[in-house]
Amino acid sequence: MTNKTPELLAPAGSLEKLKVSLLYGADAVYCGGQKFGLRAAADNLTYDELREGVEFAHQLDKKVYVVLNSFLHDSDLEQLPEFISFLEEIQIDAVIVSDPGVIKTVKENSQIDIHLSTQASCLNTHAAKIWKSWGVKRLILGREVSIEEAGAIKKSSGLEVELFIHGSMCMAYSGNCVISNYTQGRDSNRGGCAHSCRFEYSVDFKNWESVETRKAYFMSSKDLNGIALLEEFARHGIDSVKIEGRMKSSLYAGSVSKVYREALDYYKEKGHFYSEQMKDWEAEMNKFSHRAYTEASLVEKAGEDSIFDERQSALSQDYVSAAEVVEAIEGEHILLQVRKAFVPGDELELLPFRGPAVKLNSEKILDISNQEIEKTRPTTLVKVPYTKGAQELNIVRKKSYAANNLL
Amino acid sequence: MQLIIYCETRKDLEKALDCSISEVILGHKAFSRFGRLGNEEFSQMSQYAKELGLRIIFEWDILMTEKDFLRAVQALKHIDISLIDCWRVQDPGALEYVMNHFAHPVQYICETGNHNLSALQMWKELVGKRLDRLILSVELPKAKLKEYREKLNIPLEILGFGPILLFYTPRSLLTPLIDKKSDEFIEAVGTSEESPHKGFPLIQNSHGTFMFHIKEQCLLDLCHELRLIKLDYLRIDLRQSSMSYLSSIAQLSLNFNERKFEEFKCEYPKSVMKGYFRVNKSDVLFPKLKNYRLRARDNSYVGEVIEVQKDKHLVISIKNKNFSLKNGDTLIIHNTEGKSKTLTVKSLKNSRYQEVEKIENAVAVINFSGGIQPRSQIFI
Ligand code: SF4
């Protein structure tokens, strides 16, 4: 029996991450071009990279959505039609849009499907009707919407619905924070967010004289993790579950995609998640850098326990991203690009695109000129002995000793 | 250009009338972000406003998930809206609802984004004849307000005096810091070492938590310019200060006087600013955020430097599938500091570190050259 599962949608902050996300199991990726998206500081993709990314995805029968979700000013809009024509030419699968002016421009210049960005904060069935009347095909609902509410919006609107399932969260209603605009001179709704909500503040309760001034990261949200709620997503017919993180590492994009892929495949086959593996999937989510997890508003409104105290961050990482496979020559070597230094004998694991992590033999490490080395350095290339199954773009992670020491 | 004002008490209504203001915004606590009126008070205020001949705007500016929306619709059944003249909404769901359930004119709040003419035209066409006005973002500079007023040909409103809302979340962020119930009204001030600005006013109520700019918006000295561009309505928000300032504000808006303005500013408890009224350059810093990779590439693109061993070699990843690298080729390398370097390939090895004649779509080890870092981009 095959049970219907939501599309798994993963971030692609660069061409490399696009490939990593798809190879590790995402059904679709979302990425930005050079402009018009909300991540000004992300690598984003050039025209050539977008073309290559779409070809790569389509060969795997997967999809690419391009974000055009800034609140654009008139001068930005002038440059948009040319980019839209290009996107249509390379046959991207949809654009992600939040601004009515951008919707209009996309419709006037192409037949590309339009997904409404979470940035537009679509939260209810009545709002859905308006966006539907403007030709939107899919709603990426606000992070404040529960799975149950999303199911109701889908039912009443007849539109596809997408919900965030994993990753960092904006504390504000999306599109409703302009702190950076006024404090840093950077428009947060055009990609310039300075993450002021992650700062520590001293909060002075002027009108509550009995309360002392408190120092706290009171505006910072824990990270979303909906793995334990996958059955709810499936039950309410959610069309797509989205992983946040265009600014994050390949380790993150690959690891999270892999876990959700395995879980969704399990459900597809069995129709339930009553699996011993659920513990493994949950454990996998702790193997890369993240803030403490919350289910935020997926079940009921996010409460006090969804606020993150930045001082907890040191506890939240079992593994670090050590390297990426640049080349694997069977019977010879695996060429790695080092991200975080390691030494011979370190516990290295290679994360294959499918199946469990594989231990890498790191007893003897060579540099590219085949000289044995005692310590690797970030951004250098090293060779370790070939391990079966290794492929280009596989992620290699290293057990974090900081985490070990804290346990 | 007319002034409009939020009113919370009967005295506020009288004050508005005294200042020749003919339109008032009433905030019911279940619908308005900072509204304080319950059902009974709303009804009494509406009646009194009508007695005074004032036009009543019902503010429904909260954002609502599906369940919140259903609750709001239920709550609406218990509020006497017989005397209201107009709805003021921000959530597109609220807009859709009032359009289909009531016959009043509608004011649509376009303050979140909608920084282009096309977007505003979309809202105008959607609401059609019942559109009373659009409320525009204070991030729009004067030139844009002028252009939109001319091209849209509908009444427009902006915030002329009052707090600038920076942040709106439905979560109760202050409750965890003190021992209070989450729907109680809490006021505080937040300061971060990491921000150049100190003392952001904070409010938490049943709708969530709000942060405001340390300075308030003030366009009083620019009213003559606003009149020239034919702006229709200027909103005054004194809910965080005092209605006692309304007379001075109304006076200054009508007959600006530099000395009186300076006196007013000394007296007013908060600093004020013009925000983005003159110019909005909130995207000029983006090129600095963009990293060096974002330069345009074309068919001359070869790939990227992935390792640099000083005085020994460079390792490059050839990404252009149609390119074959040979000894003697001249490469142009854009380093991570934005500088260009030219390099002639004199030594070419594969990843096994064996000399080869050419390499395609793979890793290549070539001769070292200074001033080049990993992630430098290579062209021919
Ligand atoms: S500062 Fe925080 S709340 Fe504001 S836009 Fe950025 S991430 Fe969102």
Element (H, E) at B210: strand B208-218
Whether B168 is in a domain gets the answer no
The pLDDT confidence band at residue A317, using thresholds 50, 70 and 90, is: low
Partnered with residue A328 across adjacent β-strands are A334
Mean pLDDT calculated for residue range A46-51: 88
- Indicate yes or no: CB of B177 within 8 angstroms of CB of A329: no
Which is more confident, B288 or A377?
A: A377
Distance B137 CA to ligand 1 centre (A): 18
B355, B364 contact by CB (below 8 A): no
C-alpha to C-alpha distances, B173 to A184, A355, A379, B185, B242, nearest whole angstrom = 23, 41, 41, 12, 26
d(CA A227, CA A233): 10
Ligand 1 proximity of A188 Cβ (cutoff 6 Å) = yes
Name the DSSP letter for residue A15.
Answer: H
d(CA A48, CA B297): 7
Spans of chain B below 50 pLDDT: 289, 291-294
Closest ligand 1 atom to A172 CA = 3
Token readout for B225 is 């310019």
Average the pLDDT over each of A59-73, A125-139, A392-406 and give the range with the smallest value: A392-406
Distance A196 CA to ligand 1 centre (A): 6
d(CA A123, CA B113): 17
Q: What's the burial of A375, exposed, middle or buried (CB within 10 Å: 0-12/13-18/19+)? A: exposed
Distance from CA of A81 to the nearest CA of B (A): 13
Closest CA to B57 of B100, B11, B21: B21
Ligand 1 proximity of A247 Cβ (cutoff 6 Å) = no
Burial B81-90 (b: 16+ CB within 10 A, else e): bebbbbbbbb
Return the SS3 of A86: helix
* Nearest CB to B96; choose among A130, A186, A211: A130
Residues B47 and B129 grouped into a single domain: yes
Q: What's the burial of B124, exposed, middle or buried (CB within 10 Å: 0-12/13-18/19+)? A: middle
Q: Which amino acid is at B202?
A: L
Number of domains forming the structure of chain B: 2
Closest CA to B35 of B203, B257, B251, B214: B203
The pLDDT confidence band at residue A404, using thresholds 50, 70 and 90, is: very low
d(CA B131, CA B129): 5
- Indicate yes or no: CB of A99 within 8 angstroms of CB of B119: yes
Residues B42 and B109 grouped into a single domain: yes
ipTM over 0.90? The verdict is: yes
The pLDDT confidence band at residue A208, using thresholds 50, 70 and 90, is: low
d(CA B118, CA A104): 7
Phi, psi (rounded to 5 degrees) for B33: -50, -40
- Indicate yes or no: CB of B92 within 8 angstroms of CB of A173: no
d(CA A161, CA A173): 18
Residues 6 or more apart whose Cβ sits within 8 Å of residue A56 = A18, A19, A22
* CATH topology (fold) of A7-174+220-314: TIM Barrel (3.20.20)
Distance B129 CA to ligand 1 centre (A): 36
Closest ligand 1 atom to A189 CA = 5
Phi, psi (rounded to 5 degrees) for A55: -60, -45
Residue A132: left if φ>0, alpha if ψ -120 to 50, beta else—which one? alpha
User: Is residue A401 predicted with pLDDT exceeding 80?
Assistant: no
Domain ranges of chain A: 7-174+220-314, 319-399
Q: What's the burial of B139, exposed, middle or buried (CB within 10 Å: 0-12/13-18/19+)? A: buried
- Domain closes at, from B273, B299, B317: B273
d(CA A372, CA A366): 4
Closest CA to B272 of B218, B319, B320: B218
Phi, psi (rounded to 5 degrees) for A286: -95, 5
C-alpha to C-alpha distances, B62 to A357, B36, B88, B210, B332, nearest whole angstrom = 48, 13, 11, 12, 55
Name the DSSP letter for residue B321.
Answer: T
Place of tokens 């992070």: A143
Residues B261 and B295 grouped into a single domain: no
Residues B295 and B259 grouped into a single domain: no
d(CA A307, CA A294): 9
Distance A208 CA to ligand 1 centre (A): 27
Q: Which CATH number does the domain housing residue B329 bear?
A: 2.40.30.10
* Nearest CB to B117; choose among A74, A190, A306: A74
B96, A129 contact by CB (below 8 A): yes
d(CA A292, CA A295): 11
Q: What's the burial of B367, exposed, middle or buried (CB within 10 Å: 0-12/13-18/19+)? A: middle
Ligand 1 proximity of A359 Cβ (cutoff 6 Å) = no
Place of tokens 């009347």: A133
Q: Does A73 touch chain B (CB under 8 A)?
A: yes
Q: Residues A29, A187, B280, B111: is their CA dihedral positive or negative?
A: positive
Class of domain A319-399: mainly beta
Give yes or no on whether A7-174+220-314 and A319-399 have one common fold: no
- Indicate yes or no: CB of B211 within 8 angstroms of CB of A219: yes
Residues B154 and B243 grouped into a single domain: yes
Q: What's the burial of B193, exposed, middle or buried (CB within 10 Å: 0-12/13-18/19+)? A: exposed
Nearest CA to ligand 1 atom 2: A197
Name the DSSP letter for residue A292.
Answer: P
Q: What is the pLDDT of residue A33?
A: 87
d(CA A111, CA B220): 47
Nearest CA to ligand 1 atom 5: A177
Q: What is the pLDDT of residue A204?
A: 92
Q: What's the burial of B67, exposed, middle or buried (CB within 10 Å: 0-12/13-18/19+)? A: middle
Distance A38 CA to ligand 1 centre (A): 12
d(CA B240, CA B6): 11
Q: Long-range contacts for A365-371 (Cβ within 8 Å, ≥24 apart)?
A: A366/A333, A367/B309, A368/A335, A368/B307, A368/B309, A368/B313, A368/B315, A368/B351, A368/B353, A368/B365, A369/B312, A369/B313, A369/B353, A369/B365, A370/B352, A370/B353
Phi, psi (rounded to 5 degrees) for A371: -90, 135
Mean pLDDT calculated for residue range A235-264: 95
Q: What is the pLDDT of residues B33-46, one digit of tens each?
A: 999 999 999 999 99
Phi, psi (rounded to 5 degrees) for B316: -120, 150
Identify the domain containing residue B147 by its residue range.
2-162+218-273
Which is more confident, A403 or B274?
A: B274
Return the SS3 of B144: helix
Residues B239 and B307 grouped into a single domain: no
C-alpha to C-alpha distances, B289 to A39, A42, A193, B160, B334, nearest whole angstrom = 10, 8, 11, 33, 18
Return the SS3 of A250: helix
Contacts with A218 from chain B: Cβ below 8 Å: 173-174, 176-177, 190
d(CA B65, CA A196): 25
Closest CA to A102 of B114, B257, B328: B114
Q: What is the pLDDT of residues A272-289, one digit of tens each?
A: 988 888 899 999 998 888
Closest ligand 1 atom to A198 CA = 2
B298, B308 contact by CB (below 8 A): no
Whether B285 is in a domain gets the answer no
B217, B236 contact by CB (below 8 A): no
Residues B259 and B336 grouped into a single domain: no
A71, B115 contact by CB (below 8 A): yes
The pLDDT confidence band at residue A318, using thresholds 50, 70 and 90, is: confident
How many Cα neighbours within 13 Å face the side chain of B106?
28
The pLDDT confidence band at residue A314, using thresholds 50, 70 and 90, is: very low
Q: What is the pLDDT of residue B195?
A: 82
d(CA A359, CA A338): 17
Q: What is the pLDDT of residue B205?
A: 95
Whether B204 is in a domain gets the answer no
Residue B257 neighbours by CB distance under 10 Å: 12
Task: Specify the pairing of strand A160-167 against strand A223-225.
Answer: antiparallel
Mean pLDDT value across chain A: 91
The pLDDT confidence band at residue A315, using thresholds 50, 70 and 90, is: very low
Closest CA to A93 of A72, A70, A110, A71: A110
Q: What is the pLDDT of residue A406?
A: 37
